[in-house]
Structure 1
Amino acid sequence: MYRSGTRRATVLTVIALAAAGLAACGSGSKEQAQSGPVSLTWWGWNAFNNVQAIKDFEAANPQIKVTYKQYAYNDYVTALRPGLSSDKGPDVFQVQPGDLTTNFGPLAVPVEDRAAKDLGKDWAGKFNPEGLSQLQLDKKQVALPAYMSAAGLIYYNKKILDQYGLGVPTDFEQWKKVCATLKTHNLKCLAHGAKDAWVNTDVYLSLINSIAPGRVYDAIQGKASWTDQEFVQAMSAWKDLFTSGIIPAGATAATEYPDAQTTFLSDQAAFIALGTWNTPATMTKTGQTDAQKTVTKKIDGLFLSAPFPAPVTGGEPTKPFGGPDNGFAVSAKSSKQDAAFKFLEFLTAGDGQKIQAAGGNIPAITSVKVATTDVINPTQVADIERQQHSLTDLIGARQIPYSDLTTALGDALSAVAAGTTSPEDALKKVESASKSVSR
């Protein structure tokens, strides 16, 4: 899901902590003899429906008690580093692809041996392959995915478009015409929180993956230059979103959550650029009930999704990009690893996947289909099913695994959106940061 764009701990610092932690625990499983119920601590920043997960797990495993500790994302990253290097941290903790896995994967217990024992030798075949590959570090599976998600989408309010006889745009030329009509009715076009680097990066990846499909992943690995023509073209398209009015004035001071999402859900804007994680709040009764708590106006739109429009007239919109939205790992410092693995497997390969599916999230276990019985409108069923199918043909990942490069791209996008630098100069700084990355 979404996250704040903040500088991460360096890999070297965390690896040093990992070395100390792993040296202390040795090569065997750390498991204290328990005379009574085992108490597990579970840390995260947005573990989906954690109350239900704990309730169902404890009902099936009465000798294990789980306590969930919720953090704001930035606070979580700060707390996790010392927590995982001591015996006062979590037994099970949340991660996501990219630099969070890179930084904290060394402090987790690889799951392969335990998964093969508990889930069978073919355990990996049960999961979406991208769900596993993006949570690996040095060819070791350091975490298992909670559910899958992809960006490269816009969500739109069909009620608004129908009211003014408008269609869903497939390229910028069409989109600008739609936006012009909406403006005459005092409506915003694309609600966007450009204060948040993560959503700016999602949009840029949508643009570059339309212009030059997959090329950005070469640049991330240092095999292509960020100053190449296609990257400049995508950055110019990013600028055009603001100068053309597709993204309204004031967006650079707004956050995606709650500002842009509230604007969208309260019928003030027709579009928002989010990924499949936005489906529960927009297409399910349960999710919309939760979303209503943050929106004053009654949510009564009809929400659907479509590919992010192509910046080039007549161009092909991006394919979805993403992978595991987040996942969970067992701490190498945990003294209760047997119980911790049992809980991990419940969340990622057991009934926890049914909880994800029931809530409108796309399960990481491919045999579990996302539920559509809770949709608000029958037309949303096909949309949700299309989303799940699209997760089998991703163009690439959503997260960048190098924190300095992530920060540099976020800074570049912010500067271009604010009009303080040109696309060319912004990308020169990104390329400079890319050259300094140790891959």
Structure 2
Amino acid sequence: MNKWISMLCAVSLLALLLAGCGGNGADEKNGGNGDKVSITIWHNWTGQDAKAVAMRQIIEDFQADNPDIEVIDEGIPTDGLKTRLRTVAAADEMPDLFVMWPDAMTKEFVKGGLLQPINDELDAKPEWKNNFIPNALDGYTVDGNIYSVPMNLAPSSFIYYNDALFKEHGVKVPETWEELEAAVQTFKEKNVIPIVLGNKANWVAQSTLFSTLADRITGTDWFLKTVEQDGAKFTDPEFVEALTKLKQLGELGAFQEGFNSIDETQMMQLYFQGKAAMVINGGWALANLVNNAPPEVLDNTHITILPAIEGGKGDPGTTAGVVGTGLGVSKKLTGSKKEAAMKLFYEMAGPDGQKATLNSSTLVSYNIELDKSQAHPLFVELYDLMQEVKITPVYDSKLGSAVVEVVNNGLQELLDGGKPEDIAKKIQDAQAAAVAN
């Protein structure tokens, strides 16, 4: 009997050992301690614009070329991505890689201990690090550490206009604010939407229009001093004047009814349908135009910047913007997972990724010469315009998220009949509190 018990125990022990080995094998396939590594990436390349298609293709090719790496990618539209990132940041549950914005967002995430720097990876590839345009890495640098690199260049405020509609109604492309107001009045009389706006997500008016409009009046130095609360305040007369200018534009009928109830995608659709003479949007909109606008609109679309404002302190040859989004790397990443994540990072943000971005009719913060013979004529127009235009800070890149929300909500309120002085005070109070903390 004892002999049989001993044999049964031996068989049971062997079965347990074999089961244990089988379990480890399954773990390896799922990104455990074996060769297979699993990484997550959250991004906003969800649309059918050329940039989004190009970025998704890089991820797809990377997975095919690296069968030992499983990439779990989740595409989330821009507005939802920003919200979700801040939600998981509060719980310290960041994905391995994620699209993030320079300046304010980067600083918030660094302060929260959520990011790890990429200095070592950049220093190991000086031909990559040293090929970005001047100051391109500043928005991702905190206390001497670099946390990402820009994957595009994002001027945020251009007027895309349908030249056929301008010619049909005898309207001059505006070079001054008075000419812009005159154009608005004429198109309004002709039952053409002068400037289509989709401000449901509330960042659009601020990022694509107001940041540049305000800079025309206040100048950049004033804004940077106000951010620091160093001798300037949002209740100063020049800022109230900027708010008043935007309010007056709305009162002239520049925007269609219900502009606070449609989003940026619907805004562009109205322009594509030929119902609007102008749409004010960032450089990122061009990839959407090239891919999705019908020929009768695309072939007649041209680009200019917001007109000069007489008496303003700002440089009229500028547009608001940032160097572009980058990829954040979770501070929790180590070992083979970090190696895999940085390998994908380089594919997307390295020289080949920058070239793929430029080829998708999207500006980059990287020194690559555009092949104009291969590029779409409208992108060549934008590219050439950017050789002459300087970039000034967009408001939501320099202000913290809580203050940006006050600004964005304030602009919605302003265009819905609010008083400029009241909006200015709300923004000033929010920024004073943010700096005090």
What's the TM-score once normalised by structure 1's chain length?
0.80
Separation (CA, whole Å) in 2 of partners of 1:89 and 1:412: 30
Given residue 160 of structure 2, which amino acid in structure 1 is its aligned partner?
A: Y
Match of 1:207 in 2: 213
Contact 2:363 2:383 in 1 (8 A): no
CA drift at 1:356: 0.6
- The equivalent position to 2:281 in structure 1, one of 258, 274, 280, is 274
Separation (CA, whole Å) in 1 of partners of 2:83 and 2:255: 33
Q: 1:102 to 1:305 in 2, by over 3 A?
A: same
Are 1:426 and 2:431 matched, yes or no?
Answer: no
CA drift at 1:330: 1.7
Unaligned segments of structure 2, at least 5 residues:
1-30, 47-51
- The equivalent position to 1:232 in structure 2, one of 240, 243, 253, is 240
Match of 1:14 in 2: none
Separation (CA, whole Å) in 1 of partners of 2:392 and 2:274: 32
Match of 1:70 in 2: 75
Query: In the TM superposition, what whole-angstrom CA distance separates every residue of 1:317-340 from its partner, at most 9, and x where no partner exists?
Result: 350222232110221212411111
3-state SS of the aligned residue for 1:41? strand
Separation (CA, whole Å) in 2 of partners of 1:123 and 1:263: 40
- The equivalent position to 2:185 in structure 1, one of 168, 175, 180, is 180
Are 1:334 and 2:333 matched, yes or no?
Answer: yes
Given residue 161 of structure 2, which amino acid in structure 1 is its aligned partner?
A: Y
Contact 2:219 2:315 in 1 (8 A): no
Separation (CA, whole Å) in 2 of partners of 1:402 and 1:390: 30
Separation (CA, whole Å) in 2 of partners of 1:276 and 1:400: 19
Q: Which moved more, 1:348-357 or 1:316-325?
A: 316-325
CA drift at 1:79: 4.4
Separation (CA, whole Å) in 2 of partners of 1:82 and 1:34: 30
Separation (CA, whole Å) in 1 of partners of 2:186 and 2:87: 53
Match of 1:259 in 2: 266
Given residue 228 of structure 1, which amino acid in structure 2 is its aligned partner?
A: D
Query: In the TM superposition, what whole-angstrom CA distance separates every residue of 1:351-407 from its partner, at most 9, and x where no partner exists?
Result: 1112211111112322353766242xx4x354122244257x322345233122212
Match of 1:144 in 2: 149
Match of 1:5 in 2: none
Separation (CA, whole Å) in 2 of partners of 1:389 and 1:254: 33
Contact 1:266 1:298 in 2 (8 A): no
Separation (CA, whole Å) in 2 of partners of 1:365 and 1:264: 30
Q: Pairwise mapping of residues 7-156 of structure 1 onto structure 2 (< 5 A)?
A: 35-46=34-45, 48-49=52-53, 50-58=55-63, 60-73=65-78, 75-77=80-82, 79-80=84-85, 90-105=95-110, 106-117=113-124, 119-120=125-126, 123-156=128-161
Query: In the TM superposition, what whole-angstrom CA distance separates every residue of 1:226-260 from its partner, at most 9, and x where no partner exists?
Result: 111111111110111111122234323333x2232
Separation (CA, whole Å) in 1 of partners of 2:92 and 2:102: 25
Contact 2:200 2:259 in 1 (8 A): yes
Separation (CA, whole Å) in 2 of partners of 1:86 and 1:277: 31
Identity score, percent? 24
What's the TM-score once normalised by structure 2's chain length?
0.80
Q: 1:86 to 1:200 in 2, by over 3 A?
A: closer
Separation (CA, whole Å) in 2 of partners of 1:201 and 1:82: 23
Q: 1:95 to 1:390 in 2, by over 3 A?
A: farther
Separation (CA, whole Å) in 2 of partners of 1:298 and 1:382: 19
Match of 1:221 in 2: 228
Match of 1:383 in 2: 381
Separation (CA, whole Å) in 2 of partners of 1:382 and 1:78: 34
CA drift at 1:142: 1.3
Q: 1:180 to 1:359 in 2, by over 3 A?
A: same
The aligned length equals 391
Unaligned segments of structure 1, at least 5 residues:
1-31
Query: In the TM superposition, what whole-angstrom CA distance separates every residue of 1:206-243 from its partner, at most 9, and x where no partner exists?
Result: 11211132022221221211111111111110111111
CA drift at 1:112: 0.6
Separation (CA, whole Å) in 2 of partners of 1:251 and 1:394: 27
Given residue 351 of structure 1, which amino acid in structure 2 is its aligned partner?
A: D
Contact 1:98 1:134 in 2 (8 A): yes
3-state SS of the aligned residue for 2:281? coil
Separation (CA, whole Å) in 2 of partners of 1:65 and 1:371: 37
CA drift at 1:164: 2.3
3-state SS of the aligned residue for 1:363? coil
CA root-mean-square deviation: 2.9
Q: Pairwise mapping of residues 283-322 of structure 1 onto structure 2 (< 5 A)?
A: 284=290, 287-288=291-292, 299=297, 302-312=300-310, 317=316, 319-322=318-321
3-state SS of the aligned residue for 2:41? strand
Contact 1:207 1:318 in 2 (8 A): no
Q: 1:227 to 1:192 in 2, by over 3 A?
A: same
